Structure 1
Amino acid sequence: MITIRVKCTRPSQIFAMAEVAEFDISVVSEASLPADLTVTVQLSCDTQLVLSETTFRPAANATQRVQGSMPYPGFLRCRAFAEVNGETVLGECGVAFAPECIRPVRPEPADFDAFWANALAKLDKIPPNVDCQEAPDLSNDDYTAYRVSLANIGGTRLYGLLTVPSAKYGSGPFPAVFEVPSAGPPIRNPENFAFRARPRDYIIFNVNVFDFDSIGPDAVASQQAYAELTKDSPYTCQGQQSREEFFYYRPIIGCYRAVQWLYERADVDRQHFVCYGGSQGGGMGFNQVALGGGRFTAALFHIPFLCDTAGVLMGRHPGRKIMDGVELETALRTMAYFDPVHFARRITCPVMVTVGFVDNTCFPSGIYAAYNQLAGEKTVLNCLESGHGKYFDYGRHRTPMYAWLTNRMRRDF
């Protein structure tokens, strides 16, 4: 088995614009390296704009050093890859150049606030019609679970799972967490929530983004509805041809109602009302905290998605998938109304943002563009070796993430 390792010579992996980054590349094998093995080294702006490409023939127990810099603030990605027995073996490392200077490529739409005010006004005309049913099949010694749905625009409903601490944690009020899951099939069990800090002495409301019953006892029906939704394209890019048709328009509005309902519960401690979410949930967190009217007291946006969608125009990163049949410019105009870079400056509570330096789904340069727009108290957790999803090193980073948020759930600042 052959492994390619790429390591930056500077432990922090952060550079000023005038500096040059150095990477050491080594090829490790349990057997002798093939005599004709060639390694290609590519330096790029977060995998998009290719800055240089070279090749070398690796030698056993030897290291190849390459150097590179960036033409503007952003992330330099060093990728080394080789074809071995018909498969591509890849090693990569990402470094930041003046990340504090990364800014959105385009300004926010002039009618950004008016657009969302009008959207929420539509919701205000619809009675909430909340259905909250205890779910004994999902409850345990730590919490009582509830299946919840609320009326949303267009005659649809939004569905989520709520857990309330059991009697062993007292009678409340309790700190509360609002979260939206990562993109993918709906969350149907509280044990699969993204935030699972122990002890479970807090209320948490996990809301799916779909308009079908994603939480009911009929798991087969939920699976079939999800399969139907995604049979032609990922739901995350559907409707990019216009603002009101974009997939996330409806769940953003519905989640706003879900936040209102959670906040008004008598068992919720409004002094410790926080938001947590990763990837899709991190991106949704930006808009919910921004639209939340100051309700949230802290938020953690973990490797958030949809950040700096226009960054693709300058080769900063590859950007989001564009739906077939939709022109790039049309999609970018639509997504500008959903981009965390434009919601960020409307957030006033303390925020932590996590960044994976080799994330190939939610690119670090885009996340920093959103992070830098936050005007209040903020903390960034640079996860140097981490990618996305299963490639994120939760074993290393979950502890500081949870510590930051739980401190704000259980202490007065």
Structure 2
Amino acid sequence: MAHFDLPLDELRAYRSSSQEPTDFDAFWAETLAEAGSHPLDARFEPVATGLTTVEVHDVTFAGFGGHPVKGWLVLPAAATGPLPVVVEFIGYGGGRGLPHTHLLWASAGFAHFVMDTRGQGGTWAGGDTPDPVGSAPAAPGFMTRGVEDPSTYYYRRLYTDAVRAVAAARSHPGVDATRTAVAGASQGGGIALAVAGLVPDLAAVAPDVPFLCDFPRATTITDRNPYREIGVYLKTYRGRVEQVARTLAYFDGVHFAARATAPALFSAALEDLTCPPSTVFAAFNAYAHADKKIEVYAFNDHEGGESYQQAARLRWLPARLAA
């Protein structure tokens, strides 16, 4: 596969055409206030895993609408005192999986909170959180569920779950709430960006090859799923282009990035047809905090940096979460 998007020097200057809704902040303030009317009710149940270097808790907390959302909390077994925490969000189609697949951050001395993704997990890893909210007709996948209106869109529920996941992680006595990072790859990176714009006191943000950014360009430059789900839907519902674009604008990572208040480490891959590099740079270039960096992988597709990016995170994050 060859490079297909803008040259790197143009990517570094590229700005999205996504139009921010005038009531963007009011929409999200109302959404989070409604979620806050439900008790968080975060519960942590110890799990016997056979692992000796970590202790694992099966987590349940109340997300959007008070719906129960699952997660894992993984702590270093020998930890003393509250630890900085990395709250991680999962890629498209995946769930929280099994706890022994989440050892990196606890091995580095951090608490690690992994949020399950409502309704997902049937494609890989496996999930345990249903989405009890129905939808009008939609293309297969999650991108068009409730897309007729921002109030019914699937990602309104998921982004709200993610904000509540941060609160749940911070509620555990083994976590230092003042040292919280959010991270994720692909869909998880897009969710991390949303949280960066909605939670004002994070210590760090690490979105890898983030999805859900610069919808106007993403939906027209690539025909690979999941973005193509939107095109398939609009191919059927020909008269809804402006209506869908209006909904998506409330969930565009570019607008959340513009509100971010924490240092960030991004990554982009120049042969990425799933999350084209221009869409990632759109969020990076809009990102409001001055302490930001992007790792670029010139000959990778959506796998991005993989273990190389993990190593970059391990070099970058400790200083941002230091006491």
Please report the TM-score for the alignment, with normalisation by the length of structure 1: 0.67
Q: What corresponds to 2:41 in structure 1?
A: 129
CA contact (8 A) 1:148 1:161 kept: yes
Q: What corresponds to 2:169 in structure 1?
A: 262
Question: Shift of the alpha carbon at 1:317?
Answer: 5.3
Q: What corresponds to 2:254 in structure 1?
A: 341
Q: Distance in 2 between matches of 1:221 and 1:119?
A: 25
**Structure 1 residues 202 and 105 mapped into 2: Cα distance closer, same or farther (>3 Å)?**
same
Q: What corresponds to 1:185 in structure 2?
A: 94
CA contact (8 A) 1:243 1:337 kept: yes
Matched to 2:60, the amino acid is: S
Higher relative contact order (CA 8 A, sep 6+): 2
Q: Distance in 1 between matches of 2:45 and 2:119?
A: 18
Q: Distance in 2 between matches of 1:276 and 1:124?
A: 23
* DSSP-derived class of the 2:286 partner: coil
Structure 2: any 5+ residue segments left out of the alignment?
none
Q: What corresponds to 1:144 in structure 2?
A: 55
Runs of 4+ in 1 over 4 A off after TM superposition: 219-225, 315-319
* 1:25-64 superposed matches below 5 A: 46=5
Q: What corresponds to 1:297 in structure 2?
A: 203
Quote the sequence identity (%): 26
* 1:11-410 superposed matches below 5 A: 46=5, 75=6, 95-136=7-48, 138=49, 140-167=51-78, 170-193=79-102, 196-197=104-105, 199-210=107-118, 222=128, 233-294=140-201, 296-311=202-217, 320-321=227-228, 322=230, 324=233, 325-326=236-237, 327-376=240-289, 377-389=291-303, 392-409=304-321
**Structure 1 residues 158 and 142 mapped into 2: Cα distance closer, same or farther (>3 Å)?**
same
Question: Shift of the alpha carbon at 1:190?
Answer: 2.4
Say which structure is richer in strand.
Answer: 1
**Structure 1 residues 344 and 224 mapped into 2: Cα distance closer, same or farther (>3 Å)?**
closer
Q: Distance in 2 between matches of 1:101 and 1:222?
A: 41
Question: Shift of the alpha carbon at 1:244?
Answer: 2.0
Question: Shift of the alpha carbon at 1:281?
Answer: 0.6
RMSD: 3.0
Q: Distance in 2 between matches of 1:211 and 1:383?
A: 31
Question: Shift of the alpha carbon at 1:203?
Answer: 0.7
CA contact (8 A) 2:197 2:260 kept: yes
CA contact (8 A) 2:117 2:129 kept: no
Structure 1: any 5+ residue segments left out of the alignment?
7-42, 47-74, 76-94
Q: Distance in 2 between matches of 1:115 and 1:307?
A: 18
CA contact (8 A) 2:94 2:117 kept: no
User: Which is higher, the Rg of structure 1 or of structure 2?
Assistant: 1
